[in-house]
Amino acid sequence: MTSKQKIEKNKLSDDKYSKKSIKNLNSSNKKSLSTNEHLELFRKMYLIRQFENACGQNYANGNIRGFLHLYSGQEATGVGALSSLNDSDYIVTHYRDHGHALARGLDVNRSMAELFGKKTGLSKGKGGSMHLFDASKKFMGGHAIVGGQLPLAAGLALSQQYDNKDGITICFFGDGSTNQGIYHETLNLAAVWNLPILFFLENNMYGMGSSIERVRAGGLDFFPAMNTYEIPSMEVDGMDVLAVREATELAREKILKEKRPFFIESKTFRFVGHSYADGQKYRNQDEVIKWEQKDPIIIYPKKLIDMKITTNDEINDIKLEVDNVISDAVKFANESEEPSLNEIFDDIIAE
Ligand SMILES: Cc1ncc(C[n+]2csc(CCOP(=O)(O)OP(=O)(O)O)c2C)c(N)n1
Ligand SMILES: [Mg+2]
């Protein structure tokens, strides 16, 4: 079999799910969404954007310290993917984790309090921005070591397989982790052991200030390389929330039915720098402006209004409600207590 044939084999075999039809809002979705479901997707994406805006402001005024990596621009990816998972599924993610946490429904107040380093935070104020965590929602972090979350996710998937439990594990990671040995080792092991894991690459084309074109021998597309591991894969438009949702739903079904891993590459973009302090000198602003044309916070509600699924008023009501949720979260975080010094060694080893 030639490598081109292999790529075709491992891309989704059913033409209905070709990249093109998945991108199309009017695609013949087997299960079309209700108005409420559409609005919830918008609400979540807007919640994340406003959460990130508030984080930026509170970093500038000194309420949030340490590292801060914002998810602005990538909302359609996180919300689309997590909206198609079940309560039985585990989520493991990288350090740019605020979006995933909110998309999974983690408490907004406690997420903000964690960034403020307060006792009421999701990780009791001791984790910060990169370590949001809520085991009750099977949200297993927020990991700061680039690529470090991949083997942890494989371990969770192994536990699901071993214990014959329902569900899959989804593991988010960035393009920057793909030149690490641990990435290749995890893909290999997951394929050999047929683990129920969805490898979810958020390809935003940059790892800190390095464009992937400069650091990757294989070019801009990662999904064809999955043939090496015999892991079925697909690419999706990561700025289109419905496309990502449909792709993830399909991947989940395939993982459970075929009992093996799947790989999704979501092409997306962060509108902001790597971290708050990054002046983005390494890239041309024209590139950012080009991607901003695909901003899901603007495009998605516009489509819903054009399709008469909702109205401008309804969208504005959601925005108002979310803006209040965010100001309440900032107030909650501000007013919460700091952890005391004698708690510093608590929770280091799980009970
Ligand atoms: C093992 C390791 N090496 C280096 C770093 C420093 N570092 C933090 S983020 C980052 C880039 C990651 O890029 P990517 O995975 O593409 O994620 P993105 O920031 O684009 O979301 C690097 C090199 C780290 N945290 N861990
Ligand atoms: Mg990246």
Domain assignment present for residue 3? The answer is: no
Parent domain of 121: 34-333
Domain assignment present for residue 340? The answer is: no
Two tokens, residue 167: 């569900």
Answer whether 118 contacts ligand 1 (Cβ < 6 A).
no
Domain assignment present for residue 5? The answer is: no
Which 8-state DSSP code applies to residue 338?
P
Spatial neighbors of 162 by CB under 8 A, at least 6 apart, are: none
Q: What pLDDT does 31 receive? A: 61
Number of domains in the chain: 1
What CA dihedral angle connects 295, 133, 211 and 83, to 10 degrees?
-40
Contact 33, 79 (CB under 8 A): no
Q: What pLDDT does 25 receive? A: 39
Ligand 1 atom at minimal distance to the Cα of residue 274: 19
Q: What pLDDT does 4 receive? A: 52
Ligand 1 atom at minimal distance to the Cα of residue 175: 16
Q: What pLDDT does 310 receive? A: 96
Half-sphere exposure of 206 (CA within 13 A, CB side): 19
**39: region left, alpha or beta (phi > 0 left; psi from -120 to 50 alpha):** alpha
Domain assignment present for residue 343? The answer is: no
Kindly give the distance from the C-alpha atom of residue 297 to the centroid of ligand 1, in angstroms, as a whole number: 26
Spatial neighbors of 325 by CB under 8 A, at least 6 apart, are: 47, 108
CA dihedral over 59, 74, 100, 25, signed as positive or negative = positive
Two tokens, residue 43: 């609400």
Ligand 1 atom at minimal distance to the Cα of residue 212: 16
pLDDT tens per residue, the chain (351 residues)?
455 544 454 444 443 333 433 434 344 444 689 999 999 999 999 999 999 999 999 999 999 999 999 999 999 999 999 999 999 999 999 999 999 999 999 999 999 999 999 999 999 999 999 999 999 999 999 999 999 999 999 999 999 999 999 999 999 999 999 999 999 999 999 999 999 999 999 999 999 999 999 999 989 999 999 999 999 999 999 999 999 999 999 999 999 999 999 999 999 999 999 998 898 999 999 999 999 999 999 999 999 999 999 999 999 999 999 999 999 999 999 999 999 999 888 988 876
Answer whether 176 contacts ligand 1 (Cβ < 6 A).
yes
The angle at the Cα of 241, spanning 240 to 244, to the nearest 5 degrees, equals 90
CA dihedral over 191, 254, 212, 91, signed as positive or negative = negative
Domain assignment present for residue 64? The answer is: yes
CA distance 223 to 304: 30
CA distance 334 to 56: 15
Answer whether 149 contacts ligand 1 (Cβ < 6 A).
no
Domain assignment present for residue 149? The answer is: yes
What CATH number is attached to the domain comprising 310?
3.40.50.970
Please tell me the residue having the least CA distance from ligand 1 atom 20.
207
Q: What pLDDT does 347 receive? A: 86
Domain assignment present for residue 19? The answer is: no
Please tell me the residue having the least CA distance from ligand 1 atom 7.
146
Domain assignment present for residue 346? The answer is: no
